[in-house]
Amino acid sequence: MVAAGRIGVNGAIATIGQVVDPAVDKLTVDGRAVGQQKQQRVYLAMAKPAGATSTVSDPHAGRTVVDLVPAQLRRGASRLYPVGRLDRESEGLLLLTNDGPWAQRMLHPSHGIEREYAVGLDHPLDDEQWRNLENGVTFEEGMASIAHLAEATRADVRMLSGLIGSDATKLVWYRATLRQGMKRQLRRMFSVIGAPVRRLVRLRFGTIRLTEMAMGDVRALTAGEKRQLESMAGAAEPDPGAREPTKAPGLVVSIDGPGGSGKSTVGAGAAERAGYRFCDTGVLYRGLTWLALERGANVDDPHALVGLVEHLELAPDERQRYVRLMVDGREVTDLLHTAEVDREVSSVSRHPQVRSRLLPLQHALSAGARIVMAGRDIGTVVLPDADLKVYLDVSIEERARRRATERGVADDLGAVAEIEEELRKRDGIDSTRKTAPLRIPDGAVVIKTDGNTLEETIDAVVAAIRRREQEKTRAGR
């Protein structure tokens, strides 16, 4: 039947010896679909232990990751396979699915979905080794690079000790973020510079983190987690009620400005009008500040603050705006805009360790383009290569008036004066801090908003986006 051309696989005539997967491939005999029952799609997160192989087809593997998946989580899936791999001795977060096209979109290098790892070494890196890693290492298949490298904090080591045991304290740990997917990339890079990796733990895939899981645990991804990954990879199912997407090229847009300049409101409005996703990175810093105050943590202790980051999750709303903050599954968004948080958020955000710890989360959200990100160092530090940088310039008097209106105290001159003083203090901290000081990004479009209505400012940002889209389209021809 195959030789006679009667068998089809995915719309093409099958060949003798061709390998097919009935769970994924569409099979036909004489043009009629056969042997297929629609399976429920399964999307899982696993805390992979050392010793389990993620090459599920290896007949010599003693134990594969699929062996660790409880039957009730498979939901009748005839086959599960990992989204990318962790080598046999590596540990940590691994995604599994029976949805082949979805897995390929998650892994496609053009989307640059980040994976973050804890790298355990016998000895600290010296300056030359650090420089070599930052400059990249040449392999036969190309240049291997690390998107972000930082020393692990004490809170990180405590977390790792709880995850992999007390032996973690015997190693020197670093956090490394990749956007590439070369085989055994980190182990090979560190080996080349003379620093062999002793333990390797994947902590994050995109926005999914290895939080509150023990080694060997398996759980289903939540709908929100899956939606976040799909948004980053441009893989989301179409919304029947959504507008027809524009054919213009997608941009990464940064919006910077001082406190009270309207970055979040303007950015969200411009993103919705332009058909883009939106992320308010300030929510992360406000959320961390609120959590520190809630739990009595010292806002001047960066190690205590970094230890709280694992409890935060920036979540999208129904319009793909990343403006909701979850703390251990509880939404606290409405608690973040108080005078107490306003007073302390600059103290929290000035710590280099805090900014470094939050940076990979912000990078992950920008993957896949078509996003507007608002904050105080987006165009200068977080997204220095953004396609379009916007800076909202507004006087401190106007900012104080707007914030007083938001709080319902615009008629109280004393309250307005107090808010203005808070803004002056915060501007001073933000503009003079050593790490990521507030400044106008190079090449930014500066929009003065004093006297503008909100709609007028949004119009100006959308116009800047459309001009840059046209420029990008012309450049691509």
Residues 5-19, mean pLDDT to the nearest whole number: 90
DSSP secondary structure letter of residue 369: S
Residues 388-405, mean pLDDT to the nearest whole number: 82
β-strand pairing of 218-220 with 445-448: unpaired
Question: Does 166 or 23 have the greater pLDDT score?
Answer: 166
Q: What is the DSSP string of 119-172?
A: EEESS---HHHHHHHHH-EEETTEEE--SEEEEPPHHHHHHHHHHH-GGGGGSE
Statement: residue 80 has pLDDT above 90: no
Statement: residue 240 has pLDDT above 50: no
Cα gap 408→334, rounded to integer Å: 15
**Average pLDDT, rounded, for the chain:** 83
Question: Does 315 or 1 have the greater pLDDT score?
Answer: 1
Q: Please give the share of the chain, as a percent, with pLDDT higher than 90.
A: 27
Of the candidates 262, 239, 210, 252, the one whose C-alpha atom is nearest the C-alpha of residue 403 is 262
What is the rounded radius of gyration, in angstroms, for the C-alpha atoms of the chain? 25
Residues 165-178, mean pLDDT to the nearest whole number: 92
Residues 207-234, mean pLDDT to the nearest whole number: 82
pLDDT given at position 440: 87
DSSP secondary structure letter of residue 64: B
Cα gap 52→284, rounded to integer Å: 35
Residues 448-457, mean pLDDT to the nearest whole number: 85
Highest mean pLDDT pick, 12-26, 75-89, 450-464: 450-464
Query: Worst-scoring range by mean pLDDT, 249-258, 348-357, 413-422?
Result: 413-422
Question: Does 73 or 369 have the greater pLDDT score?
Answer: 73
Statement: residue 36 has pLDDT above 60: no
Statement: residue 117 has pLDDT above 90: yes
Residues 298-307, mean pLDDT to the nearest whole number: 90
Cα angle for residues 247, 253, 254 (degrees, 5° grid): 170
Query: Worst-scoring range by mean pLDDT, 48-62, 86-100, 110-124, 201-215?
Result: 48-62
pLDDT given at position 37: 54
Question: Does 132 or 409 have the greater pLDDT score?
Answer: 132
Cα gap 44→69, rounded to integer Å: 9
Write out the H or E segment, with its range, that includes residue 324: strand 321-327
β-strand pairing of 277-280 with 321-327: parallel
State whether residue 34 is helix, strand or coil. Answer: coil
Q: Please give the share of the chain, as a percent, with pLDDT higher than 70.
A: 87
Residues 15-23, mean pLDDT to the nearest whole number: 83
Residue-range domains of the chain with CATH: 1-37 (3.10.290.10), 43-221 (3.30.2350.10), 248-476 (3.40.50.300)
Cα gap 29→23, rounded to integer Å: 17
pLDDT given at position 476: 65
Q: Is the pTM of this model over 0.85?
A: no
Q: Using 50, 70 and 90 to split pLDDT, how confident is the model at 129?
A: very high
Buried b (16+ CB within 10 A) or exposed e, 40-65: eebbbbbbbbbebbbebeeeebeebb
Of the candidates 364, 373, 363, the one whose C-alpha atom is nearest the C-alpha of residue 253 is 373
Q: Using 50, 70 and 90 to split pLDDT, how confident is the model at 58?
A: low
Query: Worst-scoring range by mean pLDDT, 102-111, 273-282, 438-447?
Result: 102-111
pLDDT given at position 35: 64
β-strand pairing of 252-256 with 208-209: unpaired
Statement: residue 231 has pLDDT above 80: no
Statement: residue 158 has pLDDT above 90: no
Statement: residue 238 has pLDDT above 60: no
Q: Using 50, 70 and 90 to split pLDDT, how confident is the model at 235?
A: very low
Residues with Cβ within 8 Å of residue 136, at least 6 apart in sequence: 143, 144, 145, 146
Of the candidates 244, 322, 278, 249, the one whose C-alpha atom is nearest the C-alpha of residue 461 is 278
Q: Using 50, 70 and 90 to split pLDDT, how confident is the model at 52?
A: confident
Partners of 439 in the beta sheet?
Answer: none
Query: Worst-scoring range by mean pLDDT, 181-190, 344-353, 361-370, 385-394?
Result: 361-370
Cα gap 257→375, rounded to integer Å: 7
Q: Are 29 and 85 in contact (CB under 8 A)?
A: no
Q: Which two tokens stand for residue 379?
A: 């165009």
pLDDT given at position 118: 94
Of the candidates 458, 447, 449, 454, the one whose C-alpha atom is nearest the C-alpha of residue 272 is 458
Cα gap 411→406, rounded to integer Å: 12
pLDDT given at position 60: 58
Q: Are 263 and 281 in contact (CB under 8 A)?
A: no
Distances (CA, A) of 68 to 5, 86, 134, 290: 40, 15, 36, 38
Per DSSP, helices labelled H in 211-338 are: 223-233, 263-274, 282-295, 302-306
Q: Using 50, 70 and 90 to split pLDDT, how confident is the model at 309?
A: confident
